[in-house]
Structure 1
Amino acid sequence: MNPRPVPPATYAGELLTVEQAADRIRMSARYVRRLIAERRIGFYRLGRSVRIDPAELTAFVTAGRIDPISETTVWNDLRGVG
């Protein structure tokens, strides 16, 4: 009387520890743990351990990217100040 069959595991990639993830993005392990606690990056819980998919780190870093603006835009913005 199994309520639901367990789907087969399909993940075959590399998973990082918190320390490895921190090294990869050049931040502290404490910062990565905070990202996990705030659910700002996806993670896998394996028992008491936490593992992070490198693609999750890439997506997080990419989402924080700010595009450069031209010098003309900067001067036009400054003219409107004051």
Structure 2
Amino acid sequence: MTALTITAKGQITLRRELLQFLGIAPGQHVEVHKLANGVLALQAVAPQGLEAFAGCLPPPNKALSVEEMNTVIAKGWAGQE
């Protein structure tokens, strides 16, 4: 069991190991469910909409200028690539 300290503001900080166990990433929202006998349950809120899609692709190998992007787009529309 892990003991946590309550701050003067009534806040707690979950240790990294607990966040990893719950599958919660920085910036992600959580739901707190009140159970019987003073027990709380935390659950990660699944991202929805564009937030769920963002970051699913790997970063590009190199950044392109606007002119380079326009060239690639034009070639794609022309069926050249």
Confirm or deny a common fold (TM above 0.5).
Answer: no
More strand by share: 2
Q: Rg larger in 1 or in 2?
A: 2
The TM-score normalised by the length of structure 1 is 0.29
More helix by share: 1
Higher relative contact order (CA 8 A, sep 6+): 1
